[in-house]
Structure 1
Amino acid sequence: MRSRDGRELRSFSFEEEAPGQEVRAVERRVLLETLASRLPSNSISYLSRLRGLKKQGDGGTLLELDDGSKILAEIVIGCDGIRSPIAKWMGFSETKYVGHCAFRGLGHYPEGQPFKSKVNYIYGRGQRVGFVPVSPTNVYWFICFNSPSPGPRITDPSILKKEALNLIKGWPSELTDIIQNTPDDIIIKTPLVDRWLWPGFSPPASKGNVVVIGDAWHPMTPNLGQGACCALEDSVVLAGKLAGALSSGNEQMVERALREFGEERWGRVFPLTVRANFVGSLLQWKNPVVCGLRDNVMIPKLVRLGPFLEHTNFECELMESVVSS
């Protein structure tokens, strides 16, 4: 952890401060390709956007896609992201902008990236930057910055790179190097959003034979690194709930399994969503006095790695083990 002038604030060793913990950074493309490779061929139809869905009298759900095709499904699992039309159909509110935006990219070094296997954070006033190697040739990076509004959507990749570089003028030169080594077309800028699942006010995760998981259900800011991890947890728990219900051949058992999934997972995802929002608010401080307190007292003397990572330990009874996400 460093300040924007390059001064080291704190350095952690997992072996010393959090025995048994680790961080593994994986490219999203590699993760998705790995998961998809385990499915039968032709299981996935790409670029098939959902236009709408309708309940059928026989208990099924009819999905209508933008290309005009239709699918009659016995079970619908909505894992279609923060703008999920399935979540909207189920009555969930729109996601809420939290006051920060983020640039993200993947620096590419064909001859080998020069960085050690460390997670690097650099803090400024109302801005923070992070980068971590994800392979021998690629380095993931992000810039999170305060903004009163998301601003206009920019599609020109060269403009996005220019904006990202302007944000880190005067910061350590290695940041500029990583961004300069990032192909323009893989730099993205997104507003950070979340949705809090208030008990008694938010809809349940399922309606009949339709259920939402991952960002479609519980979008959270990336400040804890748990968005995709929670989606994977969802899939493991949901698969376990459905396995027994499907083998029974009873439609009511399936609907019950979906309800139980939502009830069980709510206690996990709601606190993480709130905590991620709170941590992000603290890390995006702009007041110079508060930032000075953070850089000279909180990070060097008070922050402990072990307690900070406790949220990554997820006990899945179905697997009879502890999964660190």
Structure 2
Amino acid sequence: MTSLVSEMAEARSRWTGRPLHQWYTPEQARSRREIAMFEQAARVADEDFGRAFRDLMGGGVVAYPLAWANRRIELSDGHWCITGIRFRGLDVTKPFVDVVATSLPPEADALARLADAVVPRYAAFAPLALRVDAPEPAVLVDAAREHPWFAGASVDQYAVAALVADLRARPRHAAYDRVALQESEVDHAQRACARLYAEAAARRPDLDMWATPSTADELQDCAAEGLLFTVTVDGVGAGVVAARRDDDRAMTGLVVQEIVLDDVHRGRRLAPAVLQRLVDELPGGDGDTLWGTIHADNQPSLRNALSTGRVIVGGDVWLTPPGLAGM
């Protein structure tokens, strides 16, 4: 499997956002890509994984376990790809094919050739779309929409990140002194998140398509690292913010697990100050990033992330070749 991990990591180089190439040496960047690809490589032709995934999804219409495992598909032009069947939000009615790695470049013409080879192999699952992790999601979407195969291309979510050291060096936000963080118990934070997400969902019924409250296990991971907090504004409880270590997407660092404010404080330009307070609490070793993913429809959160110094380092793109219904 070592050779497959290495091959996938090399292929992911040109699918990795420019900032990551700037933050890490070539050796560091490759090591991080290998870490990111290890689990996916292990799932290639893994019957045990396929069986477990099939059973998790209730069996579905395909019984053969290897159909549920990741696959290496050789393309007719000598290129290859690693793919796997997935389900958005683990919803059996929303299957898609995840393109984990490919030797092809992130270009519409190349992806049309890939789709032509890949889609028929997953016909039994009736996938709605393909998903790729692109270095510049909006750029790929613009190019794909001009291609006859991908008129319905769209960004699913952006990955945003910055080096913790760079975030600490930035000027403090105007609301910084009004915001404070207090360590929180898991039960309290979970109840608060459930309430705050319910408030938001009352205004945005489709919220669960792109944002759901953190689970108790996720919040426990944050608490174990001393990074689960109640947010106060002017001494009044206002929400929850949390982070945990997660080396993924070819980065080492910490992910923003949760940031949610109540209706009283939402929309008042407080989130940037909350994130700066969170940064103050991060351990942040050399090369550590603070990263997260933000749904393309969640423009307020994306603006907040960018305003605090994080940048788009990649993201997931939906591609809908002919014959697929689209996500």
Q: Normalised by the shorter chain, which TM-score bucket?
A: under 0.3
Higher-Rg structure is 1
- Normalised by the size of structure 2, how large is the TM-score? 0.27
Q: Which has the higher contact order (CA 8 A, sep 6+)?
A: 2
- Normalised by the size of structure 1, how large is the TM-score? 0.28
